[in-house]
Amino acid sequence: MQAEQHPASTAENNVFDTWWKKQGEWVEEPNVRRGGESGVQRIYDDNGNLLYAKRQTGHIHRSWLHPLGRLTVLRERDALIGARKAGVNVPQIVYCSTSNERGLLITAALQGYQTIEDWYAAGGREQYGEALHTQLLKTIGINIARLNRARWQHGCIYAKHVFVYVEGEGAAAKPHAALLDLEKCRQRLTSKQAALHDIKQLRRHSDWSAADWKVLKDAYEQEFGRKLSELPD
């Protein structure tokens, strides 16, 4: 069964081909699944700005909305747009389109950000102190709550998909958090369904202490607008 295709203009095909020809270093080597291939490269635009290009061939997702299937870059594009509307910090889309079972999703790099795992490993917590670390945990909780409150379920929310950045120094330092890798993100019927899945998954795949987790969870529930007794402690 073929994936759903939409006719594209010659001009659009030319734009797609121009982006497709830009090659760079593989960040994620192409993996073979979903009947096709998908991988991520670092590339640069004509002004030298760093971008990330997810390129796919025949990498199909099927759902009741799309029974014939569509490339998963379109699913991720929808999630990025939905997350931004909900006030979640996610990468900015530069370009997204498909052509002849090929798909491209190009996003701007989050300058200065790193995974929270790398931030801890580099001594970020010790460098900036506990007060900022508390604010960082709250910022992470708020971003995830905004996503779930809009009924978006990340679906693959491990610590490695939480990126952080500290702006400024000393008393002026301000923490930021962002969520990446929304390929499996989808909207659930209720915000509670999205919340229970993501928070349980994040707790299971993170190393925060009980005290740190409580800070994140309390900020999450305050932003979410309700307490959920089923959330893990």
**Nearest Cα to Cα of residue 5 among 93, 68, 67:** 68
Q: To which residue do tokens 């009980």 refer?
A: 210
Print the domain residue range for 191: 114-224
CA–CA dist 151, 193 (Å, integer): 8
**DSSP structural state of residue 160:** G
Of the candidates 93, 108, 123, which is a domain's last residue? 108
The distance from CA 138 to its chain's CA centroid, rounded to whole angstroms, is: 18
Of the candidates 56, 77, 108, which is a domain's last residue? 108
**Nearest Cα to Cα of residue 198 among 165, 224, 176:** 224
Cβ contact 90:180 at 8 Å: yes
From first to last of its 233 residues, the chain has per-residue pLDDT tens of 334 445 456 777 789 999 999 999 999 988 876 568 999 999 999 999 999 999 999 877 656 565 456 788 999 999 999 999 999 999 999 999 998 889 999 999 999 999 999 999 999 999 999 999 999 999 999 999 999 999 999 999 999 999 999 999 988 999 999 999 999 999 999 999 999 999 999 999 999 999 999 999 999 999 999 998 998 98
Q: What is the pLDDT of residue 212?
A: 98
Same domain, 154 and 209: yes
The distance from CA 106 to its chain's CA centroid, rounded to whole angstroms, is: 13
Distances (CA, A) of 185 to 79, 181, 188, 213: 6, 8, 10, 23
According to DSSP H, which parts of the chain are helical?
Answer: 10-21, 72-85, 116-121, 124-128, 130-149, 191-204, 210-224
Same domain, 211 and 118: yes
Distances (CA, A) of 140 to 84, 91, 219: 15, 15, 9
Can you give the pTM of this predicted structure? 0.89
Same domain, 202 and 124: yes
Cβ contact 104:59 at 8 Å: no
CA atoms within a 13 Å half-sphere pointing along the CA-CB vector of 9: 3
The total number of structural domains in the chain stands at: 2
Convert the pLDDT of each residue in 68-95 to its tens digit. Answer: 567 889 999 999 999 999 999 999 999 9
CA–CA dist 154, 195 (Å, integer): 9
In a domain, 48, yes or no: yes
**CATH (domain of 72):** 3.30.200.20
